[in-house]
Chains A and B, each alone.
Chain A
């Protein structure tokens, strides 16, 4: 089955700087890659996703890039703000399969 690895496990950045979280996946058949944000005590919420026919997608301060050849994808957050502090999870799913395989999460802390 699919295996998703996520790095780093913790990340601290100064407010206003950029943050990058990276994930790798094992199954080349995977074609859907969502990112979830989970604030303390809350549910995971989808913030952005990318499909395998797209190399990059941007939504305001967040962007995701996908390298199918290398089987990795990354989340980029620019101009970080205190409200970006949360745990971020990447995930992958194989085409035609509803099941998501999640990474282990990255705890992002924005330092004011």
Chain B
């Protein structure tokens, strides 16, 4: 099993640009989570999906952030327009169908907005 796959691993962009982060969950997992990690705020849940349907997006910071899961094997997190304060490591995680829901994290995308 390849585990959770994220791309790109590193992204450097200028303020105002659109950024798209990608995630492929572990095959057979039906829940997918997007987290943001910074030194100041720790590990924050942004949004999670169950069976491709967004269940809780209360952690999405503002309208500049959007996430989609068009099918069971792919999800995107988009930031438009990006700002320097969005600089962080973004993790995607997935968990299996049956509880109690161990989450497996991807390697993360380190985003730097200049």
**What is the minimal beta-carbon distance from B94 to any residue of chain A, in angstroms?**
10
Chain B's interface size range is 20 to 34
B106 an interface residue at 8 Å Cβ cutoff? yes
With most chain B CB atoms within 10 A of its CB, the pick from A46, A95, A98, A100 is A98
The distance in angstroms between the C-alpha atoms of A95 and B105, with both chains bound, is 21
Instruction: Decide if A45 touches B105 in the complex (CB within 8 Å).
Output: yes
Instruction: Decide if B45 touches A99 in the complex (CB within 8 Å).
Output: yes
Instruction: Decide if B102 touches A99 in the complex (CB within 8 Å).
Output: no
A25 an interface residue at 8 Å Cβ cutoff? no
The distance in angstroms between the C-alpha atoms of A5 and B50, with both chains bound, is 26
Q: What number of A residues sit within 8 Å (CB to CB) of B?
A: 22
Provide the residues of chain B in CB contact with A31, threshold 8 Å: 100
Instruction: Decide if A100 touches B91 in the complex (CB within 8 Å).
Output: no
Provide the residues of chain A in CB contact with B101, threshold 8 Å: 32, 93, 97-98, 100
Provide the residues of chain A in CB contact with B70, threshold 8 Å: none
Provide the residues of chain B in CB contact with A42, threshold 8 Å: 107
B103 an interface residue at 8 Å Cβ cutoff? yes
The distance in angstroms between the C-alpha atoms of A34 and B97, with both chains bound, is 17
Instruction: Decide if B42 touches A102 in the complex (CB within 8 Å).
Output: yes
Instruction: Decide if B48 touches A43 in the complex (CB within 8 Å).
Output: no
Instruction: Decide if B43 touches A44 in the complex (CB within 8 Å).
Output: yes
Q: A96-B99, A99-B56 are in contact. Are A105 and B50 (CB under 8 A)?
A: no
Instruction: Decide if A51 touches B100 in the complex (CB within 8 Å).
Output: yes
Kindly supply a per-residue 1/0 record for chain A positions 53-73, scoring 1 wherever the CB is within 8 Å of any chain B CB and 0 otherwise: 000000000000000000000
Among candidates A32, A44, A89, residue contacting B100 with C-beta atoms closer than 8 Å: A32
Kindly list the 6 A-B residue pairs having the minimum CB-CB distance in the complex, ordered from nearest: A32-B100, A43-B105, A98-B31, A98-B101, A102-B43, A104-B42
Binding site for B on A (CB under 8 A): 31-32, 34, 36, 42-46, 49, 51, 89, 93, 95-100, 102, 104-105
